[in-house]
Amino acid sequence: MSRKLLRSRPPFPRVNSSTSVTFHPISFRSEEEEYVIWVSGRHAFLAIPSIGKEVIDLLRSGKTIAQTETAVEKKYRTSFDVADFVKTLVREGFIKQIDNYTVLSSTQPIDRFRFFKPQQVSWLFGRASFFVVSFFIAITLLLLLLHPLLIPSRDDFFWTRSTTIIILSNVCLHFLFVFSHELAHLFAARALGVGGSMRFSTRLTSLVLQTDVTGIWAESRRNRMIVYVSGIVWNLMLIAVAVWLVFLINEDTLFVKLLKVSILLNGLSILSEFHLYMRTDIYFVLMDLLRCRNLFHDSLSYANYQLQVLIGIVKKRKEKPRNPIERFPVRERRSVAFYGVFAVVGSLVSLGIFVFYSVPIAMRLYVMAASSIISGLQEQQFLRFVDGVTTLLVEVLFIGLYFYAFVKNHPQMLAWIFKRDR
């Protein structure tokens, strides 16, 4: 799941002390020491302090930037850069007009699942559904405790001798479960009247499907938590149903073998959500519990700041870099600093596992596939040849999708590479 903020970068005239602005229709919601503000019907959300809300109220009343700064300084006995704040509001799509200039904004909502109405899916997240799902998962855990042999082993992945069939079937099942996981997030958001969309993205070395439900910022923390965990609860339900079917059928049939594969795939999917050093579902739960707004980005910025400080000490630089979190509340600074260490270490470990574990496995698979192709041609064994070709095609497809998603979601990196080539 993702809560990516779609930023606009429209051109706008110079902002000065005599500037007055007109806002789009803005909604406010108080959340502890901050206000969450948003524009209805747009993907524009910001968390601002109480002084920021007062600045917006003054500007909306028709005061100029200079008049607003004077009023704020008189009340709070501190200076506030209203002009810079206005520029931020323009970039994030809150300002409709600067003096007589109409601002063009690109923060348009994305909702490709409008055909799901809130009343059609809200019952899935009601109190009755919560008790039914909780009870079903609880008795399934009890069943597994009484019959631990129902828990599949890794050997259950290899339910046939054909690697092609294993790869194709497991890939299809995995995509089906991932899609339904993300659909659960969308249903939870739609139950609140919030739109969303899906897209392929990347997490370090992994290709993932992510859901963009930025609009949940307008909801309470309790409702946001429901959206965060809905995908994991859906995976748990799929596991529970599969476990009971395996228990009731109690025969080594093809259907039972596929049920065991589905239990493994959904179980691994749940475990992957606990990779807190990436923006997984549990990461968003942790971020909200710690009362942080962009824990991942802020932590990486802080880690980069610490690296620049270290480089400055080594090179004996006099000028010290600016701490990106120095204005954060003490509680949030501690959370960001701790998570920064965790994110860097976790990412390095994950990359190490990829280089020393995943890559050798993939290379072995490629060698086996190439061997099947060569031997199939030499010995005129058509099925072996097809087996090797299909394996390579599936792997190439995934690599292609990974790079497509990476380039699409990181266009600035591609622009930087081409800029360097010039």
N-term to C-term CA, the chain: 37
What pLDDT is attached to residue 133? 96
What pLDDT is attached to residue 68? 93
CB 292 within 8 A of CB 300: no
What pLDDT is attached to residue 11? 54
What pLDDT is attached to residue 136? 97
Buried b (16+ CB within 10 A) or exposed e, 340-369: beebbebbeebeeeeeeeeeeeeeebeeeb
Backbone φ, ψ for residue 23 (5° rounding): -95, 155
CB within 8 A of 174, min separation 6: which ones?
A: 265, 269
For the chain, list residues with pLDDT below 50. 2-10, 420-421
